[in-house]
Amino acid sequence: MPAAPELISPKSPRVSAARRLAKRNFRGKERLFLAEGPQAVREAAGHAETLVELFATVDAAERYADIVGEARAAGARVHLADEDVIADISTTVTPQGLVGVCRFLDTPFARILAARPKLVAVLAHVRDPGNAGTVLRCADAAGAEAVILTDASVDLYNPKCVRASVGSLFHLPVAVGVPVEQAVQGLKDAGVRILAADGAGEDDLDTELDKGAMGTPSAWVFGNEAWGLPEETRALADAVVRVPIHGRAESLNLATAAAVCLYASARAQRAAGGCRSVTSS
């Protein structure tokens, strides 16, 4: 006989505490955030000392028994909850039955610099949480070693940002709240070339690749979805690079442009003469 849910009321103190984490001020005060769905919860459980609590419906606990087991093994408190309780905590329209409460896991900027990263994504004034999470996912896929969100960018732990990262939030170091000038100067001092991605850039991505300029340690700076990078930010870069538009499209959205740029650098760095050795498949 399946177990009965222990939490059946949205008014439960545990449920109320989790629900408040949908708001930024409570997340900042508690230094906790929500991770929803099996993929995010699995990644959280595998990230040392991150998953604090897991709320699961009886059905989800049975369907994802391996994830619930990983959560318990990681030391998280597991609560079987009524579906109405999960719906109350969740920030999605169709909850998947698993909601984790996680500790903040951003990395100090100084620690990122000390690791001498070869490929970095810098989000300057990026306000849309879905875009920020998707760029983080692209950076992870391209093998970037860090992501930096400047002080004018969206909250890393916004539920939409966490969902859009599809678990990549738990895979690579992310620094938050760094002024763009400090981020650029720190990366330059660490030997990283600064590339500003801009549709009106003087340099063309294809040209940069053809002349072998992309194989060095690089940080791509991506700007706001609506107005791009301000002149003062472009002026900080070693090069302002545009992604060529070969067809009739007016432009690329932020996440698509970020994927193109990051993969271009990743390929150049892994090629002979780049800053990384060629990897075997």
Domains with residue ranges and CATH for the chain? 13-103 (3.30.1330.30), 109-270 (3.40.1280.10)
Rounded Cα distance between 197 and 203, Å, is 10
User: pTM, whole model, 2 decimals?
Assistant: 0.90
Per-residue pLDDT of the chain (281 residues), as tens digits, is 456 566 556 778 889 999 999 999 999 999 999 999 999 999 999 998 999 999 999 999 999 999 999 999 999 999 999 999 999 999 888 899 999 999 999 999 999 999 999 999 999 999 999 999 999 999 999 999 999 999 989 999 999 999 999 999 999 999 999 999 999 999 999 999 999 999 888 889 999 999 888 999 999 999 988 888 999 999 999 999 999 999 999 888 999 999 999 999 999 998 856 655 433 33
Query: At CB < 8 A and 24+ separation, what contacts does 42-49 make?
Result: 42/67, 42/70, 42/167, 43/167, 43/169, 43/170, 43/171, 44/100, 44/102, 44/170, 45/70, 45/71, 45/73, 45/74, 45/76, 45/100, 46/70, 46/74, 46/170, 47/105, 47/170, 49/74, 49/75, 49/103
Select from 137, 175, 153 the least CA-distant residue to 225.
153
Tell me how far apart the alpha carbons of residues 27 and 21 are, in angstroms, rounded to a whole number.
Answer: 5
* Stated length of the chain: 281
For residue range 128-187, list pLDDT tens digits in order.
999 999 999 999 999 999 999 999 899 999 999 999 999 999 999 999 999 999 999 999
**Helix (H, G, I), strand (E, B), or coil: what is residue 179?**
coil
3-state secondary structure of 11: coil
Kindly state the percentage of the chain with pLDDT values over 90. 80
The CA distance from 270 to 217, in Å, is: 11
By the 10 Å C-beta count (0-12 exposed, 13-18 middle, 19+ buried), 10 is classed as middle
CA distances from 81 to 8, 57, 207 (A): 6, 5, 56
- Please state, in angstroms and rounded to a whole number, the distance separating the CA atoms of residues 89 and 94: 12
